[in-house]
């Protein structure tokens, strides 16, 4: 590989890194992705809910703003991606659906909590509808008879993240973007400036996409800009407040779809959700565990997911288990992502997306493109308007200033 013509290097090929690279390539910027195992991290585990409204919590209003702005971008993002990947109808190709999320409650306490949440959402002028238990079951006949009420967020959507990353890899291939299957061991620096990446020794080496492993090539890739999108592992390459938050999740197979929309609820004090796919698959998620880089699938995780999901939809226990995986969400102290200039010339961050990386991907590509354009002396979209405010919310500076 001729390294001199590489302009931007994206470290990490999860949904965030692949989408950023695709967006840069579409803008005509030469870009290379480096990842030893693309699309195998949190993005492989994710349920794919695009649910800023039903995920809202009392303390996360900024996250709601980011999520809502990104959800608005999803239809055009999906259409452009499907076209570049050579797929047909984007909704079918990516299993993108916008049929809403139904949050349900069982006991009197749950119902009171849901009422409070509804009042909070209405204050924020979010489009939600309160439903009785009967209305919930009319929408979703497979719900447990004990469901006493619900809250419908009709604008929430979902997508199959595995289809999204597969489409991104196909689009990158068609655009001729090199994918180097290697681990980045460190950043190259020239004085203050980041000038590229150093690759780890060992198997994987460097090799261009789809051509299989090659003989060891150059151990360094020089770049005008490095975009760090290594998910939960980002803190291994730079001193960043990003930590792994483990999530176990199960996929069940059903001859016909059990649900028409995403269903969520609190069971035994823990949130559980069920996400239906177009092909009849039903996703049950997810645990939240602070266990470092542990990705073991445990009997306890499996038990809790099934026990809680069965409370909401008793029929789940009849279904065939398709797979169970654990992924590592890239968590940050304030649950907001780190997107934008890292404070070091030549380095831009696109990490820390925690529970919402799939939802936040389209917005992230805009913010990274703006940051790189600004770094090259170009006009920066984010200096003004809504996007500017969103960029501020994600700015890595918020931690540098307080440390």
Structure-derived torsion over alpha carbons of residues 244, 248, 254, 259, reported in degrees to the nearest 10:
-70
Tell whether residue 53 is a contact of ligand FAD (CB under 6 A): no
Name which of 53 and 149 has its Cβ closer to ligand FAD.
53
Name which of 84 and 160 has its Cβ closer to ligand FAD.
160
What single DSSP character describes residue 2? Answer: -
Tell whether residue 341 is a contact of ligand FAD (CB under 6 A): no
Kindly indicate which of the ranges 74-82, 316-324, 352-360, 365-373 contains the residues binding ligand FAD, using the contact rule CB under 6 A. Answer: 352-360
Which of 48, 196, 265, 301 forms a contact with ligand FAD (CB under 6 A)?
Answer: 48
- Residue 314 to residue 253: CA distance in whole angstroms: 15
Tell whether residue 66 is a contact of ligand FAD (CB under 6 A): no
Q: Which of 382, 363, 383, 372 is nearest to 341 (CA)?
A: 372
The answer to whether residues 267 and 212 touch, using CB atoms and an 8 Å cutoff, is no
User: Least CB distance from residue 286 to ligand FAD, whole Å?
Assistant: 4
Tell whether residue 329 is a contact of ligand FAD (CB under 6 A): yes
User: Least CB distance from residue 283 to ligand FAD, whole Å?
Assistant: 8
Residue 196: phi and psi, rounded to 5, are 155, -165
Which of 82, 157, 169, 230 forms a contact with ligand FAD (CB under 6 A)?
Answer: 230
Which of 6, 24, 46, 169 forms a contact with ligand FAD (CB under 6 A)?
Answer: 46
> Mask: binding to ligand FAD, 252-271, rule CB under 6 A, as x and -?
--------------------
Lookup: tokens for 182 = 């290697």
- Residue 260 to residue 158: CA distance in whole angstroms: 12
**Residue 87 in 3-state DSSP?**
coil
- Residue 292 to residue 279: CA distance in whole angstroms: 34
The answer to whether residues 371 and 224 touch, using CB atoms and an 8 Å cutoff, is no
Tell whether residue 68 is a contact of ligand FAD (CB under 6 A): no
Q: What residues from 130 to 189 belong to the interface with ligand FAD (CB under 6 A)?
A: 183-184
Kindly indicate which of the ranges 33-41, 126-134, 205-213, 393-401 contains the residues binding ligand FAD, using the contact rule CB under 6 A. Answer: 33-41
**Residue 197 in 3-state DSSP?**
strand
- Residue 321 to residue 323: CA distance in whole angstroms: 6
108 C-beta neighbours (distance < 10 Å), count = 9
Kindly indicate which of the ranges 44-52, 130-138, 214-222, 309-317 contains the residues binding ligand FAD, using the contact rule CB under 6 A. Answer: 44-52
Tell whether residue 93 is a contact of ligand FAD (CB under 6 A): no
- Residue 296 to residue 205: CA distance in whole angstroms: 27
Name which of 19 and 128 has its Cβ closer to ligand FAD.
19
Name which of 147 and 363 has its Cβ closer to ligand FAD.
363
Tell whether residue 13 is a contact of ligand FAD (CB under 6 A): yes
User: Least CB distance from residue 71 to ligand FAD, whole Å?
Assistant: 10
Tell whether residue 205 is a contact of ligand FAD (CB under 6 A): no
Kindly indicate which of the ranges 126-134, 293-301, 312-320, 323-331 contains the residues binding ligand FAD, using the contact rule CB under 6 A. Answer: 323-331
Task: Please report the beta strands in 289-395, taking only residues with DSSP state E, as ranges in sequence order.
Answer: 320-331, 338-341, 347-351
- Residue 371 to residue 362: CA distance in whole angstroms: 15
Tell whether residue 285 is a contact of ligand FAD (CB under 6 A): yes
- The dihedral through the CA atoms of 392, 396, 398, 401 has a sign that is negative
Q: Which of 364, 310, 306 is nearest to 339 (CA)?
A: 364
Tell whether residue 351 is a contact of ligand FAD (CB under 6 A): yes
Cα 358 → chain centroid: 3
- Residues lying near ligand FAD in the complex (CB under 6 A) are found at 11-17, 34-38, 40-43, 45-49, 183-184, 229-233, 237, 247, 249, 285-286, 327, 329-330, 351, 353-359
């Amino acid at each position: 590989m001729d390294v001199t013509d590489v302009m931007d290097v994206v470290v990490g090929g999860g949904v965030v890194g692949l989408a950023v690279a695709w967006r840069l390539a579409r803008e005509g910027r030469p870009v290379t992705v480096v990842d030893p195992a693309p699309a195998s991290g949190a993005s492989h585990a994710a349920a794919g809910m695009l649910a800023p409204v039903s995920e809202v919590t009392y303390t996360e209003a900024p996250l709601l703003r980011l999520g809502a702005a990104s959800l608005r971008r999803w239809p055009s993002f999906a259409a452009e991606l499907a076209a570049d990947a050579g797929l047909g109808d984007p909704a079918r190709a990516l299993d993108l659906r916008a049929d809403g999320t139904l949050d349900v409650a069982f006991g009197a306490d749950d119902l009171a909590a849901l009422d409070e949440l509804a009042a909070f959402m209405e204050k924020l002028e979010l489009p939600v509808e309160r439903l009785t238990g009967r209305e919930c079951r009319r929408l979703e006949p497979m719900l447990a008879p004990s469901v006493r009420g619900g809250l419908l967020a009709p604008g929430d959507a979902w997508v199959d993240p595995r289809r999204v990353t597969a489409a991104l890899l196909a689009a990158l291939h068609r655009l001729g973007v090199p994918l180097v299957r290697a681990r980045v061991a460190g950043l190259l620096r020239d004085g203050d400036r980041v000038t590229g990446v150093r690759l780890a020794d060992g198997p994987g080496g460097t090799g261009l996409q789809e051509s299989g492993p090659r003989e060891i090539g150059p151990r360094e890739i020089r770049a005008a800009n490095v975009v760090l999108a290594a998910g939960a592992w980002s803190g291994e390459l730079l001193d960043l407040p990003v930590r792994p938050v483990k999530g176990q999740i199960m996929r069940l197979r059903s001859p016909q779809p059990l649900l028409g929309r995403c269903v969520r609820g609190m069971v035994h004090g823990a949130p559980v959700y069920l996400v239906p796919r177009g092909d009849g698959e039903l996703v049950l998620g997810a645990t939240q565990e602070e266990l470092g880089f542990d990705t073991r699938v445990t009997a306890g995780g499996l038990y809790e997911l099934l026990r809680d999901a069965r409370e909401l939809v008793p029929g789940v226990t009849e279904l065939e288990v398709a797979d169970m995986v654990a992924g590592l969400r890239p968590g940050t102290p304030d649950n907001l992502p780190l997107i934008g200039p890292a404070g070091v010339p030549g380095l831009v961050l696109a990490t820390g997306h925690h529970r919402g990386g799939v939802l936040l991907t389209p917005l992230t590509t805009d913010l990274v493109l703006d940051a790189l354009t600004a770094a090259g002396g170009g006009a920066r979209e984010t200096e003004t308007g809504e996007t500017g405010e969103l960029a501020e919310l994600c700015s890595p500076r918020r931690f540098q200033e307080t440390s």
